[in-house]
Amino acid sequence: MRALSGLWRWRRNPLRRTTDLAEAWVALVALVLIAAAAPVAGCLAGAAAQDSLQRAVREQQHTRHLVTATVVRDLGEAPLETDPDTTTARETRSRVLAEWTAPDGTQRHGPALAELKSPHPGDRFRLWTDPQGRITTRPLDSPTATTHAVLAGIGAALLTVGLVEGARRLTVWRMVQGRYARWDQAWDRAGPDWGKAGTGS
């Protein structure tokens, strides 16, 4: 919005300086870039993220398998949740020693997080594994991937706006510094006698 404040400098005014007009052009260019480049950058980044994430969704759904495991014994309180996309409350998960059959047919056993409030030996629960039977997180789903892609697009658009506005401010700052330098040179040329009666006569 501050870019709009420079547009008043186009009005005809005998006191308007060249740098005022230059600042107005910088403001206009920044406004056009924000209006045009930010949406384009957001769409391109979002589309690229969507393609990448949807490929990851397909790969994970192909390589991750939901198997049934059996509780051997309870291992106590579950650690902090490592899957940020999980919708299961932490208090419903328990850490147990379990055994399960991998997708390749081999028998596996080890610690696992079970969605059981009070697990007992012989209880059964479901967990995600890779093709070799190693425990992994659940595969990314398509709606979650789309949400992440939208957020990536919004982030790219905001970053573009920030970069354009930062470039505008830097350009205006350089113009102001140049103006101050020219004022200092003008004061130096005027000399210490400026303003005294009879000076220059």
User: How many CA atoms within 13 Å lie on the side-chain side of 176?
Assistant: 6
Average pLDDT, integer, range 118-145: 90
Q: What is the mean pLDDT of residues 105-122?
A: 87
pTM of the predicted model as reported, rounded to 2 decimal places: 0.65
Cβ atoms within 10 Å, residue 110: 14
**Residue 34 banded pLDDT, cuts 50, 70, 90:** very high
Distances (CA, A) of 53 to 10, 129, 131, 139: 47, 20, 21, 11
pLDDT at 89 over 50: no
Packing angle, helices 18-63 and 142-190, rounded to 10: 160
Percent above pLDDT 90 for the chain: 42
pLDDT higher for 90 or 108?
108
pLDDT tens digits, 157-189: 999 999 999 999 999 899 888 888 887 787 877
Q: How far apart are the C-alpha atoms of 6 and 28, rounded to whole Å?
A: 8
Angle made by CA atoms 52, 58, 63, in degrees to the nearest 5 = 120
Backbone φ, ψ for residue 9 (5° rounding): -70, -10
Q: Tell me: the pLDDT tens digits for 44-62?
A: 999 999 999 999 999 998 9
Q: Where are the beta strands (DSSP E) in 49-164?
A: 65-77, 94-101, 107-114, 124-129
